[in-house]
Structure 1
């Protein structure tokens, strides 16, 4: 998030255990370095693991019995393989050149399949290793000196100072509400974006908000024009869903429920006139009486003039009124008995519908029952009554980790609920922190901040006139209620973030900071988790596990042959398997080839790399220029006289005994035995 400061360093995600929850947050660039390192590390570890596999297979295939050349070539590949890809290529060549032999492919296929499986396994491991350095981009916000929330001044706003305070509060609340609207538009619904940066900013991207049809939520059920729609967020955990990084025992579950239905206005609608109705009809004042209005001190829940209905500049207009259970001071009206609820807050939303639709609308809130013809001949459909009322009951519920719960109540009762019998201050701090954010997520706050933008239908305006509209579905009012529910939980998440990063400058006189007596147990200003694509949170356990397991595999590979040799010596097991493994080493095979040609006095035969005595020089075998069926090789020595390989001159009469060309080898070679010496002895070259 570009407007937040992220804490860089070690921290613990308490939604996981102490081991898996440890994280290190770094910048994007540093995170890419870690990902690149892990990919290379897994590749390196994979090559060592492949060598271990080759050693095990080589040992199982080793035999003291005579085997054909294909078997020995397989053993040679297993002994000298450094990578699965290299082995795949060498096996492919072996299969090709042995294609005329019986069952050559069938004998090579198991090794081929093993190499392919290993390649797939470690390619996947390299991919998943990058997840160690992402953890879904969860980061912890850095503590800001401006952490807190803005206080709204007490009514009435009769001083300049109160007006300034209310203005600052309104600006901050409007910014959060507009952000939440954009988030819901982009991240919820069938057309939700999977690539939007905004959708990767909240600790929990979206919630599965349920909608069910229920009976009218008001005591007088005849007030409802249809059955109500109930939008339920389900229980949202303060840590897992809302990103409040408290200890598991201090977390709370929160649930919000909105139950709404269009309500009748017949019998509650009246007007009077302040002038001559014939000449000054615009002065006619209309009232909707659903209860006593505290500010106007009369029974007019809603009041507007006829002039408000003339020459509209936009398709919709909204008015609203709220009655908070057990809190008249924060209520705008006292509901009539048929609307009053003591276990929830009642909100009435008055819709002025000036839209002219391209087709008839049967929705109960947006209903059209009249048509109008433009001078162009186009027909549009409109509502003859203009106004329509939606009634909603908002309820909230807390549930503690010990199972105690407040039940569905109004906001005032939610704040009064005792969090725990043992007065856990950390849990109380979490509850207060959530309570302040919940206040800003209520329907009336969103209506005050964004007005008609809270209507999904407002996005359908078209044509030159802003009142022209493409139309709405016949269940649009239900869609609006769901939209309000989505907006509510998103505003809650945003308010929690705004609290931490500071809704106003740190020196603002209207900024209410956390209670000092609660900060010792839980500090909400340094405990908010969000998502941030510009940072990486590296899972410490995953990082250590990847490196630790890799080191173990590397050490095991480097010492496996020695360990097996020692075990065979201690147990008295015949050592032919390990001896074959050593002799199949490319350097040993090279040494044996040169010895068979009588070249070199070799020493250090027990080492991985045998060497010759100091100053020893001899030629290199190259393909002979003389054509022949056997494509013979000869040695080109450092002198001008070529030495034909004595290995190819076996028909000569005088034998060249091993003693004459490999005296050093016989004395020092620990593997000297008839089974391991050349079966054909070279003879004199000339």
Structure 2
């Protein structure tokens, strides 16, 4: 019997080509309850994650990653949040994200990690070790995201994404600071953990680098590898943030419809217009250098080149005017190798 809270249609259809349709019906499901899920303020299910056995058997990737986020500022009507966490995962000062990992990889060695969760004993067939793999359908990691904004003298408390937006007026910020905050807030909103998973999926995982790309086989991962993944997700979010600033100052001219591009709809901002003119980004197409330093090097080199022909005469003149200089000049003349060679060759006492 299908569970009563099953929300998807009775059958799932997968098209393989013209006039060919494969139909299957899932009868076994796994539900994971961390809080009810919502979509645009409407509750979908009491389960946070749900997978079907047939669906899982059709997957052709080693890792499948899903994410849900509870934005604290939107929990009153859940407009924009994915779920409302249960008490054990609820926070009053942070947004809560849950990452669900379905691990189908087979490892060449044992892995000790609480998120990837492979078995400690290898799978054997005909007394031959096939590999290590997990015996759990999904494993989860929970993360909190906190934000803080500061002016020269005051800072907002560390809290969720929406709270600093409400507290902006209480920080006595200038017009430029307020415009900077608006840009930063939109940037941070688009680089939250959930949206990274939406845009990149399992490609955000560093574990992809250990895959053989052959038969779901992977090298063994180091102990506590989930920490590596969390650090990498944070670094990717920073890269996304940097790129969004570039797109703000110089957005790509994408064609949305024939003969219609994005730049036709650009709005000329007020105070943020100054940011566009002062943003500096590294690019292989341009080089950044100091004109003053370059000019000083060129001028110094030109002076040396111009003085080099007259430099021996100038040094000789100064040597003739000083007693130590005259002594060094005479010593150089008398001990010069060619002078000594001439003296020895011209001496009749030497039988040459």
Q: Same fold (TM over 0.5)?
A: yes
Q: Which of 317, 321, 324 is 2:64 aligned to? A: 317
Residue 305 of structure 1: how far off its partner (Å): 1.6
Query: Hey, what's the Cα distance between the residues in 1 that align with 2:213 and 2:289?
Result: 52
Which residue is equivalent to 1:656? none
Q: Which of 409, 413, 417 is 2:159 aligned to? A: 409
Question: Which aligned pairs between 1:427-446 and structure 2 lie closer than 5 A?
Answer: 427-446=177-196
**Change in CA separation of 1:511 and 1:458 when aligned onto 2, cut-off 3 Å:** farther
Residue pair 1:349, 1:389 contacting (<8 A) in 2 also: yes
Which residue is equivalent to 1:151? none
Query: Hey, what's the Cα distance between the residues in 2 that align with 1:298 and 1:361?
Result: 34
Residue pair 2:253, 2:262 contacting (<8 A) in 1 also: no
2:274 counterpart of 1:523: yes
Q: Deviations over 1:138-168 (max 9, x none)?
A: xxxxxxxxxxxxxxxxxxxxxxxxxxxxxxx
Which residue is equivalent to 1:450? 200
**Change in CA separation of 1:553 and 1:350 when aligned onto 2, cut-off 3 Å:** same
Query: Hey, what's the Cα distance between the residues in 1 that align with 2:348 and 2:298?
Result: 55
Query: Hey, what's the Cα distance between the residues in 1 that align with 2:63 and 2:113?
Result: 15
**Change in CA separation of 1:304 and 1:363 when aligned onto 2, cut-off 3 Å:** same
Residue pair 1:317, 1:351 contacting (<8 A) in 2 also: yes
2:128 counterpart of 1:377: yes
Which residue is equivalent to 2:50? 303
Query: Hey, what's the Cα distance between the residues in 1 that align with 2:170 and 2:307?
Result: 54
Secondary structure of the equivalent of 1:429?
Answer: helix
Residue pair 2:73, 2:161 contacting (<8 A) in 1 also: no
2:242 counterpart of 1:471: no
Which residue is equivalent to 1:282? 26
Query: Hey, what's the Cα distance between the residues in 1 that align with 2:227 and 2:347?
Result: 92
Residue pair 1:457, 1:472 contacting (<8 A) in 2 also: yes
Q: Which of 285, 289, 293 is 1:538 aligned to? A: 289
Q: Deviations over 1:632-677 (max 9, x none)?
A: xxxxxxxxxxxxxxxxxxxxxxxxxxxxxxxxxxxxxxxxxxxxxx
**Change in CA separation of 1:371 and 1:548 when aligned onto 2, cut-off 3 Å:** closer
What is the total number of aligned residue pairs between the two structures? 301
Question: Which aligned pairs between 1:15-34 and structure 2 lie closer than 5 A?
Answer: none
Q: TM-score, normalised by structure 1?
A: 0.38
Query: Hey, what's the Cα distance between the residues in 1 that align with 2:102 and 2:278?
Result: 43
Which residue is equivalent to 1:614? none
Residue pair 1:398, 1:406 contacting (<8 A) in 2 also: yes
Secondary structure of the equivalent of 1:418?
Answer: helix
Which residue is equivalent to 1:363? 113
Q: TM-score, normalised by structure 2?
A: 0.71
Residue 475 of structure 1: how far off its partner (Å): 0.7
Which residue is equivalent to 2:209? 459
Residue pair 1:419, 1:427 contacting (<8 A) in 2 also: no
Query: Hey, what's the Cα distance between the residues in 1 that align with 2:157 and 2:319?
Result: 77
Residue pair 1:325, 1:344 contacting (<8 A) in 2 also: yes
Which residue is equivalent to 1:500? 249
2:3 counterpart of 1:272: yes
Query: Hey, what's the Cα distance between the residues in 1 that align with 2:172 and 2:292?
Result: 35
Query: Hey, what's the Cα distance between the residues in 2 that align with 1:405 and 1:483?
Result: 28
**Change in CA separation of 1:511 and 1:337 when aligned onto 2, cut-off 3 Å:** farther
Residue pair 2:118, 2:135 contacting (<8 A) in 1 also: yes
Secondary structure of the equivalent of 2:30?
Answer: strand
Q: Quick check: 425-434 or 386-395, which moved more? A: 425-434
**Change in CA separation of 1:555 and 1:374 when aligned onto 2, cut-off 3 Å:** same
Structure with more contact order per residue of length (Cα contacts < 8 Å, sep ≥ 6): 1
Secondary structure of the equivalent of 2:281?
Answer: strand
Contiguous gaps of at least 5 residues in structure 1: 1-270, 566-574, 584-622, 631-686
Query: Hey, what's the Cα distance between the residues in 1 that align with 2:263 and 2:87?
Result: 38
Secondary structure of the equivalent of 1:447?
Answer: helix
2:233 counterpart of 1:484: yes
**Change in CA separation of 1:508 and 1:408 when aligned onto 2, cut-off 3 Å:** farther
Residue 352 of structure 1: how far off its partner (Å): 0.8
Contiguous gaps of at least 5 residues in structure 2: 11-23, 327-341
Question: Which aligned pairs between 1:648-667 and structure 2 lie closer than 5 A?
Answer: none
Residue pair 1:287, 1:301 contacting (<8 A) in 2 also: yes
Query: Hey, what's the Cα distance between the residues in 1 that align with 2:247 and 2:191?
Result: 13
RMSD (CA atoms): 4.0
